[in-house]
Amino acid sequence: MPAYTDKVMDHFMHPRNMGELTDADGVGMVGNPTCGDVMYIYIKVKGNRIDDIRFKTMGCAAAIATSSMLTELAKGKTIEEAKKISRGDVASSLGGLPPIKMHCSNLAADALHKAIEDYENKKKA
Amino acid sequence: MSTSRIYLDNAATTKVDPNVLAEMLPYFSDKYGNASSPHSAGSEAREALEESRARVAALIGASPEEVIFTSGGTESDNLAIFGAAMKKGKGHIITSCIEHPAVLNSCEYLEKNGFQVTYAPADSDGIVKLDALERSIRPGTFLISVMQANNEIGSIQPIREISNLAKAKGILVHTDAVQSAGKIGIDVNSLGVDMLSMSSHKIHGPKGVGALFVKKGVQILPISRGGGHEKGLRSGTENVSGIVGFGAAARLAKESMGEMERVKKMRDRLMGGLLKVEDTLLNGSRTQRLPNNLNISFKFIEGEGLLLLLDAEGICVSTGSACSSKSLKPSHVLLAIGRSPEDAHGSLRLTLSKFNSDGEMGKVLDSVPRAVERLRSMSPFKSDSQMKQFSDKHATHEDDEHAGIH
Ligand SMILES: Cc1ncc(COP(=O)(O)O)c(C=O)c1O
Ligand code: FES
C-alpha cells in the first residue's frame, strides 16, 4: 500500500462534489471495470462556465481523491480554461501521488475532457 | 490508537504472545551463548534449542530430529523445493496455482532452469482438483508441493489424498503449513508428507523463524553452505532467542488448540453478518476452511479504499485488490477460483486470532457494512449488468502506462 499525502487522504475521506447530475450538459466516462477503476464526470454549463460538476468513481483511494480534486479545479472555470487542466495538474494539486498511482489521476483529467467533448458535441447537434 | 485497534490481519502476522516474549528475553541478556560452543554458555543455548525443537515437533506429531530450523516460511519452502530439485537434478514438479509466492516463484525459477512444472487448478471453493493433479503425474515427477491451507481464502487442501497418490509412485510430497499449523491439528504421519513448512510469526511467535519438517530418510540438499548446522541443511549460527520463541509459541498453540473453537464462533458470526450485505460473495469453501479465515468480495467497490476507511476506524484488514498490490494485479488466488477481476477488486480478508473478542466482532459488523455503503454511494455501478454495459461501450484501454500495468 503506497503512502498518500494528507491532501489525498483528506479528499478520499471527505470527497467534494460527489454524486450525479441527472440533467448534466456533458458526461465523461473513462476506465475499465476489469482494472477496477471507472470514473464518471458530470458537468452543468452556464454561460460557457462549468457551473456545477459531480463525480462517481469506482477505484482506489487515489482514484477517489483525484476525482474529488479535479471537480474543485474545474468548478467555475470557462470551458477553455477547463480544457487546459492537465493530468499533471490534478496530481500536483494533491501534493503528488505515489508513482504507481499516477494513472488514477490521468483518468480524472481524461474524464473531464470527455465530459467537455460530450457537451460540445451535444451543443453542435 | 493501539489500545483500541482491532487487528484482523492475523494471516499476515500475529502479536507475539506475552508468555512467548517472557520465555525469549533471557536468551538476549543472560543466555546468549552460541549453541555450537562446548562451554557452559553454549550448552545452555544448545539445551534451549533442543527443547524448542521438541516442542515444534510435538505440534505436528514429528520426531525432534526431523525438524530443521530456518529463517521462516519462505526459507522453508525454498529449502524444500530447491533442496529436492537439486538432489534430483532434473524432472517434473507438480504444485498448485493457489500457492504462496514462496512456492510459486521457486517453481517458476526451476521451470526456467531445466525443470518441468505443472500448476494444478483449484475448484471454485479453492480446493485443488485431485483428479487433474493425478492426471498430471508422469514418470519424471519427483515432487508434489501443495499448501495445507491457503493464506488468502483459508481453503484446506486434501493433503492426505495427495500423499496417497504420490506414495504409490515414490514421489516426494511437500506441504506449506504456514497458515494451518496451530489452527488445525496436524500429524505428519497420518498426513503422509515428506516435508512440511512452518513459520513462527503466524502462531504468536517472533518473526524471522520457521522450520522445515524433513521426514527421516528423505534426502535433500542444502541451499546455503557453511558450518554444517541443522544436520548440514541450514548452516549458520542458530537464532536461539527466536527459536525459543517459536518453541514457546508452538507449545502454547498445541495446548490452546481449543481456543480455535471460540475463534471459529467469532468468525462464523462475522461471516453470517457480512454475507447479509447485498451483492457479496464468499471466497473459498464454507466447510473446508481454516477456523480463523473470512474472505468476502463486495461488488462494485475497490478493496484499497475499504481497507483505508476501516483503518481510519482502527480496524486492520487486508484485500486482494489489484490497486493495493505492488504489481497492480488482482490476487492470483481469487482469479484461480474463478472470480472476475472486478470481484477480486472488492475482496476483503479478515483473519482472526485468540486475541480477538466478541465485542470487537460487534464493532466490525457495524463498521464494515457502513464503509461498503459509503464506497458504493460513490460508485457508478449498482449491478453487474451496468458494469458489463459500460465495458462493452466505453471501456478505455488507452495508450498510457495505465493499460500496461493494470
Ligand atoms: C502460506 C504461506 N507460506 C509462506 C509464507 C511465508 O512465511 P514467512 O513470512 O515466515 O517467510 C506465508 C506468509 O505470508 C504464507 O502465508
Ligand atoms: S484505481 Fe486501481 S490503482 Fe487506482
CB proximity list for B94: less than 8 A, separation 6 or greater = B117, B118, B120, B133, B136, B137, B141, B143, B144, B145, B146
Distance of CA B333 from the midpoint of ligand 2 (Å)? 19
Kindly state the cell numbers that stand for B6.
Answer: 482491532
This model of the complex carries an ipTM of 0.95
- Comparing B395 with A38, which gets the higher pLDDT? A38
**What does the pLDDT read at residue A1?**
53
Q: Domain spanning B18-255 has what CATH number?
A: 3.40.640.10
Residues with CB under 6 A from ligand 1: B 72-74, 77, 100, 102, 147, 151, 176, 178-179, 199, 201, 210
Q: Would you say residue B14 has pLDDT above 70?
A: yes
- Comparing B387 with B252, which gets the higher pLDDT? B252
B211-244 exposure pattern, b = at least 16 Cβ within 10 A, e = fewer: bbbbbeebebbbbeeeeebbeebbeeebbbbbbb
**Phi and psi (nearest 5°) for B149?**
-145, 140
Q: Specify the fold of B6-12+258-386.
A: Aspartate Aminotransferase, domain 1 (3.90.1150)
Domain ranges for chain B, please list them. 6-12+258-386, 18-255
Give B218 to chain A, closest Cα distance, Å.
41
Provide the 10 A C-beta neighbour count for residue B256. Answer: 14
Cβ-defined contact of A103 to B400 (cutoff 8 Å): yes
Cβ-defined contact of A107 to B391 (cutoff 8 Å): no
Q: What is the mean pLDDT of chain B?
A: 95
Q: Would you say residue B102 has pLDDT above 80?
A: yes
Nearest residue (by CA) to ligand 2, atom 3, is B323
pTM score, whole prediction: 0.95
Query: Contacts of residue B341 in chain A, CB cutoff 8 Å?
Result: 33-36
pLDDT tens digits, one per residue of A81-98: 999 999 899 999 999 999
In order of their start, the domains of chain A are 6-124 (3.90.1010.10)
Q: How confident is the model at residue B402 (pLDDT cuts 50, 70, 90)?
A: very low
Q: Which residues of A are catalytic?
A: 35, 104
A14 touches chain B (CB under 8 A): no
Give the C-alpha separation, B249 to B93, whole Å: 33
Rounded average pLDDT over B341-368 = 97
**Burial class of residue B385 (count of CB atoms within 10 Å of its CB; 0-12, 13-18, 19+):** exposed
A8 touches chain B (CB under 8 A): no
**Burial class of residue A9 (count of CB atoms within 10 Å of its CB; 0-12, 13-18, 19+):** middle
Nearest residue (by CA) to ligand 1, atom 9, is B73
Cβ-defined contact of A100 to B328 (cutoff 8 Å): yes
Rounded average pLDDT over B339-365 = 96
pLDDT tens digits, one per residue of B111-158: 999 999 999 999 999 999 999 999 999 999 999 999 999 999 999 999
Task: Count interface pairs A-B at CB distance under 8 A.
Answer: 100
